Structure 1
Amino acid sequence: MILELDEVRKSYGEHEVLKGVNLEVEKGEIYGLLGPNGAGKTTLFQTVMGLLKPDSGSIKVKDRPHDQGKEIKRMIGYLPSDISFYDDMSARANLEYFANLADRDPDIDELLELVDLTGDQDRKVGEFSTGMKKRLGIAQALLKDPELAIFDEPTTGLDPEGKNRFRKHVEKINREKDTTVIISSHITGEISPLCDRFGILNEGVIKASGTKDELSRKAGTSLEIELEAKNPDKAEKVVKSLVDSYSRDEDVFEIYSDRDRSSILKHLVDNGVKVKSFELKESTLESTYLELTEADR
């Protein structure tokens, strides 16, 4: 196990952000941390990085206590969601500058080649697209040749081609450099093709963890219902009184419940809600994620 968190808590004043996080990441895997905005993902990463001190609980990196300072920090590379560089400096100059700050002497040529920026190494970063800056961010996160790399919402702001290219680079460093990767997102489709296992973080707690198949089975099946509703907000109140977890898109509700399908439909009709159509859907990682996060709203 490369990373272990046991009951980690962190508060800002009276606001508790991490409420007893338990997390295990295995060496060599790509681990996806899913959670809505405000779930505590960035605070969790900054705590693991040592940028924030936990109020309680323990963090171990390769069975070593987290408080071993520089030795632990050198084992972890970090790509923050709000990455920034010196725009008037070239890509190479930026990497050399940050390597000097970290007191490291990495193979800059190798890193630039790894992220397909060899041909752009002398261009000023201010001329880079968002995707190119993200790729440069990967290189920066690898300057210390870390055993563990953490990428916080790295696909935000990328177009579909950029997202696909980013995923390929993550797979490449995981495969070629044997780097364990933790990558976060609030959108399951952004990272689901990439990761070996997932954790779902909401309200400062890991609600569930496992492979895509394991998490998909947790939700069972869901019922998608399209309603004929003159007042959809009123219809939503009826749905809410019936089940704990659901999602809504206009007049279409996806309901996650162990209740019998016929009893759900009867309850809606008895309360004056007309059902236009319905479909029983097998669960997915997305449906499990929605069930575990929507229920806390």
Structure 2
Amino acid sequence: MAHRTVLKIEGVSKVEGDKVWFRSFNFYLHQNEVTAIQCEHVVGKVLFHILTGQESGTGRIVFFDEDEFFPAAWNRYSYRVGVVFHEEGIYERLTPYEYLKFHQRLYDKKADIDELLHKVNLFGKKSYRIKNLSFSERKRLSFAKAFVHKPDLVILEEPDQNIDLESKVILRRMINELKDEGGATLILTSNMESAVIMTNEVYRLNENGLKKMDVQEQEEMETENDREESEISSQVQVERIPAKVKEKIILFDPTEIDYVESVDGTVQLHVKGEAFPCTITLQQLSERLEPFGFFRCHRSYIVNLQKVREVMTWTKNSYSLILDDLHKSNIPLSKGKLQDLKSVLRM
């Protein structure tokens, strides 16, 4: 049975002067789904503000398959949506119980406040002033506020940033409960690890638009690898490079990788400013990535030549490659590799 669409984003983009926040993209979220969009923090904030009616953008946003769309859609249907802001404004003089009761009345919904406080493990502090709660406890109170009116959709901005493990477990439990009850959750996060831990449905949003990431459970990945090995021929074109995050595997398109680094025997894939551990050896990666324009520039580094902006000479025998990536990374170039690089680049 097809699940009802709770959020449609069609042809939405945001450009201000010469600044392209993100190009036009389409996105659909349905009942019983948990989806994360990973992007730079400021990009996520812009999208969050557009979704909640605080900023304008081009395109069409539709809530709950209704005809009326953005911005009127938010004004009309916000009572069915729970939101958690990255920087939540909380009335510090209230107690957690008073705070949730206040929001319950705003939505004119009946809810068991004590039960909700138990869910976020704040029942024992229901009479404390909010100003006396820790950062993670305040964040859990924000989660409770988002669920107090039994929403059909929850939108979370950087929900697990800087919170403790207990709060992360509680957040995942609440998201899964909403999913089981027919609700949906959209997570906006700047951290890819956070995204894949919370769901397998992960997208990346940047100035080029929206792209779905290939995320699998580790068991699925191992089964697929076994099947591929039994069917594999002598000619293989590698299209995905695996990285492990907790018990999940992210499959990266080689063109997404900025460079590969080996540190103390651990291989790391560097993608959009984040590092992801990879179980493949540097030598194996060098062989697999070479057809995609990668170059072994140092015994501990493989670089995507499409990302190289400048070859820097420090001394007669010291060189490095400056990348056009998020951090303008400086990658060492071995003296013995300089002529090979010139040959590859036809310099």
Same fold at TM > 0.5: yes
Matched, 1:50 2:53: yes
Per the TM alignment, residue 140 of structure 1 is displaced from its structure 2 partner at its CA by 0.8
Describe the shift of the 1:116–1:179 C-alpha distance in structure 2 as closer, same or farther (beyond 3 A): farther
2:186 is aligned, of 177, 182, 186, to 182
Q: 2:253 aligns with which of 208, 219, 237?
A: 219
Alignment equivalent of 2:83, drawn from 63, 67, 78 = 78
Correspondence for 1:153: 158
- SS in structure 2 of the partner of residue 264 of structure 1: strand
Q: Kindly provide the amino acid, as one letter, of the partner of residue 50 in structure 2.
A: T
TM-score by length of 2: 0.62
The correspondence for 1:117, drawn from 122, 125, 134, is 122
1:32 match: secondary structure:
strand
Which residues in structure 2 correspond to 1:64-213 (within 5 Å)?
A: 64=66, 65-66=68-69, 67-175=72-180, 177-203=181-207, 205-206=209-210, 208-213=211-216
Q: State the one-letter code of the partner of 1:49.
A: T
Q: Are 1:63 and 2:62 an aligned pair?
A: no
Bigger strand fraction: 2
Any idea what the Cα deviations from partners look like across 1:107-156, whole Å, max 9, x if unmatched? 32332233222222111111111111111111111233210001100111
Q: 1:264 aligns with which of 282, 285, 295?
A: 295
Matched, 1:34 2:38: yes
Give distance in 2, aligned partners of 1:261 and 1:49.
41
TM-superposed deviation, 1:98: 2.2
CA distance in 2, matches of 1:211, 1:111: 35
CA displacement at 1:220 relative to structure 2: 4.6
User: Would the aligned equivalents of 1:49 and 1:76 in 2 still touch at CA under 8 Å?
Assistant: no
1:6 and 2:19 correspond? no
Secondary structure (helix, strand or coil) at the match of 2:150 reads coil
Aligned equivalents of 2:292 and 2:52: distance in 1? 47
RMSD: 3.6
Shift of 1:248: 9.3
Distance in 2 of aligned mates of 1:13 and 1:102: 38
Aligned residue pairs, count: 252
Give secondary structure in 1 for the equivalent of 2:197.
coil
Alignment CA distance shift 1:187-1:134 (3 Å): same
**Identity percentage of aligned residues:** 19
Preserved contact between residue 37 and residue 189 of structure 2 (Cα < 8 Å): yes
Measured after TM superposition, the shift of residue 8 of structure 1 is: 1.0
| Partner SS, residue 182 of structure 1 | strand
Secondary structure of residue in 2 paired with 1:260: helix
User: SS of 1:122's equivalent?
Assistant: coil
Question: Counterpart of 1:276?
Answer: 299
* Kept in 2: contact 1:99–1:143 (CA 8 A): yes
User: Any unmatched runs of 5+ in structure 1?
Assistant: 228-244, 269-274, 280-292
CA contact (8 A) 2:51 2:74 kept: no
Distance in 1 between residues matched to 2:166 and 2:112, nearest whole Å: 28
Unaligned runs of 5+ in 2: 217-239, 241-248, 264-270, 276-281, 303-323, 329-347
